[in-house]
Amino acid sequence: MSDLRTPLSIARSWGSGHNGTRHWMAQRLTALALIPLGLAAVILFFWVMHLGYAQAVAVMHEPWVLLFVVLLVGVMYWHGFLGLQMIIEDYVPNHGRAFIVITLARFAAVALALLGVISAALVAFRSF
């Protein structure tokens, strides 16, 4: 009998659950946003696949295509990071290690998203 507290008392010491709702909602919204973005990416891929290199680069020069690619990359990496964060929080028992791994995952997601955006911008703004 090392702990005489009630289950409610134990649960109250875990802190507020308000942040989890925001995380859950962000996961669902990014998943919903990825549905039309993913379908549009498939359509764009099959449209550009039959074009030559110069014509494909000309398609990337369109402002709406660049905006679409930036949105796709940003939402995709944000959704991926949210899912990875959830897995780390659930399966890494040590809170210190979990914090370090989540921080590294966040830096990796931001770095890869920036790399994707910069790559798309280079293709869109550079004349070959």
Residue 93 lies in a domain: yes
What ranges in the chain are assigned the alpha helix state H?
7-12, 18-49, 53-60, 63-91, 95-125
Residue 4 lies in a domain: no
Q: Which domain holds residue 57?
A: 19-125
What are 73-100's pLDDT values in tens digits?
999 999 999 999 999 999 998 989 999 9
Domain count, the chain: 1
In CATH, what number is assigned to the domain containing residue 36?
Answer: 1.20.1300.10
Residue 9 lies in a domain: no
What are 42-58's pLDDT values in tens digits?
999 998 999 888 888 88
What is residue 15's predicted lDDT score, i.e. its pLDDT?
A: 60
**Residue 73 contacts residue 41 (beta carbons within 8 Å):** no
Residue 43 lies in a domain: yes
